[in-house]
């Protein structure tokens, strides 16, 4: 069983079938829902995925996806201390820094993202959803 921190783009790939790694995202979230792996997300990732999905899928569908994520995934805690860690990190992007700080804080085994390069300074290895499926499913 792996503890996975899912980046926002994985949530979006799950929600929109024609996105680049949609099939892999569906497989990963299915595994989390079934208890094969523990999936975690930052609250900000839920918010961002909802915002983007609203524009493309409508508010009700986006909200339904958030509800489904809340059944399958754990929301990792985010507080002032985590924000300060992210703000003072060597990540060039604050949002990526929050994901990194969260993954390190919860002792995730992997960060799943389509932007693994963004987490090259993290102590938690970042791989793409497709890499995870190829290696572990």
d(CA 55, CA 133): 29
Work out the number of other CB atoms within 10 angstroms of the CB of residue 120: 11
Strand ranges (E), 77-124:
110-112
The two three-digit tokens of residue 33, written as one number:
């829902």
SS3 55: helix
Q: Looking at residue 10, which CATH number applies to its domain?
A: 3.40.50.1010
SS3 40: strand
CA-nearest of 77, 21, 67 to 44 is: 77
The two three-digit tokens of residue 63, written as one number:
């909200």
Residue with tokens 């499926």: 133
pTM of the full structure? 0.94
d(CA 5, CA 58): 26
* Residues making up the chain, counted from first to last: 137
Domain that holds residue 51: 3-136
Q: How many domains does the chain have?
A: 1
**Residue pLDDT tens, the chain, 137 long:** 999 999 999 999 999 999 989 999 999 999 999 999 999 999 999 999 999 999 999 999 999 999 999 999 999 988 999 999 999 999 889 999 999 999 999 999 999 999 999 999 999 999 999 999 999 99
SS3 64: helix
């Amino acid at each position: 069983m792996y503890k996975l921190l899912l980046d926002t783009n994985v949530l979006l790939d799950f929600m929109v079938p024609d996105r680049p790694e949609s099939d892999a995202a569906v497989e990963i979230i299915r595994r989390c829902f079934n208890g094969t792996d523990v999936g975690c997300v930052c609250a900000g990732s839920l918010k961002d995925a909802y915002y983007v999905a609203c524009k493309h899928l409508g508010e009700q569908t986006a909200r339904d996806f958030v509800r489904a994520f809340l059944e399958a995934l754990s929301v990792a805690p985010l507080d002032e201390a985590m924000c300060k860690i992210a703000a003072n990190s060597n990540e060039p992007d604050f949002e990526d820094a929050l994901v990194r700080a969260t993954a390190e804080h919860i002792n995730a085994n992997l960060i799943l993202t389509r932007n693994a390069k963004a987490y090259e300074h993290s102590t938690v290895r970042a791989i793409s959803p497709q890499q995870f499926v190829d290696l572990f499913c």
